Amino acid sequence: MKLNCIAVDDEPLALGLVSLFIEKTPFLHLTGKYLSAVEALQALHSQQVDVIFLDIQMPDLTGIELARVLNQSQQNGTGPRIIFTTAFNNFAIEGYKVDALDYLLKPFNYEEFLRAATKAKTYYEMFQRTATPVAVAAPEPEEESLFLKVEYQLVRVAFKDILYIEGLKDYVKVYVQGSTKPILSLTSLKALEEKLPAKRFMRVHRSYIVSLEKINSLMRNSIQIGTVTIPVSEQYKEAFNAFVSKWV
């Protein structure tokens, strides 16, 4: 596998170094280098790019702003992945919010660059493996897990291990059996709900999704999973009552 890459940096020396690192890496292919995010955006309309090595502080359009534009235009998670290259460490949270693959702090050496590039290679290899091929005569197999973005990596979580999920403002906490700490992922509860099989999970509250097979007991307005009591809100009462009717 060879990944098409571009480098974007308004400092010629930094741009030259990243370009050199890309050309030095066997599984990367440099398709362009640009001194501004505006130039890069124009180029992205005419070529297939897998990875962007992107500076953050640039005139006219910053790297963060370019990442937001790309996120808004992408569909179903498609589009280039971003590895930020910056001299400032105070953009890490912003990088996480725009779903950056990694964050290289200048000055970085080739070993650090290669580690980030390898992460991109691993991501695309994993993406290829999890892509469902088109079936001609046989039904598509049911997925048994999903991938969650946790910090700067994708973590596979099996459906059978999930106890319940709690939604916060911009994050979700996924509670899994065998772990005392939840998995924290930057996504919305609604987006995650769409990825979960409806026959195994149910939204019972604006802040909670539960695994139906992990329910220990049912009450009028709540669910017990282990030692945790989860409320059932009026908005989801009808679906909850339909589920309860199968038990009684």
For residue 6, the model assigns a pLDDT of: 96
Which pLDDT belongs to residue 69?
87
Per-residue pLDDT tens over the stretch 40-78 = 998 888 889 999 999 999 998 999 999 888 887 665 456
First to last CA, the chain: 55
pLDDT given for residue 75 in this prediction: 52
Looking at residue 202, its pLDDT comes to: 92
Q: Which of 46, 69, 45, 51 lies closest to 8 in space, CA to CA?
A: 51
**So what's the pLDDT on residue 142?**
59
pLDDT at 54: 94
Would you state the pLDDT for residue 130?
58
Q: Determine the pLDDT at residue 126.
A: 80
User: What integer pLDDT is reported at residue 55 of this predicted model?
Assistant: 94
Point out the residues of the chain with pLDDT beneath 70: 73-78, 91-96, 128-142, 246-248
Domains and CATH numbers, the chain: 3-129 (3.40.50.2300), 160-245 (2.40.50.1020)
Q: Are 30 and 101 in contact (CB under 8 A)?
A: no
Q: In what order do the strands lie in the sheet with 228-231?
A: 217-218, 222-225, 228-231
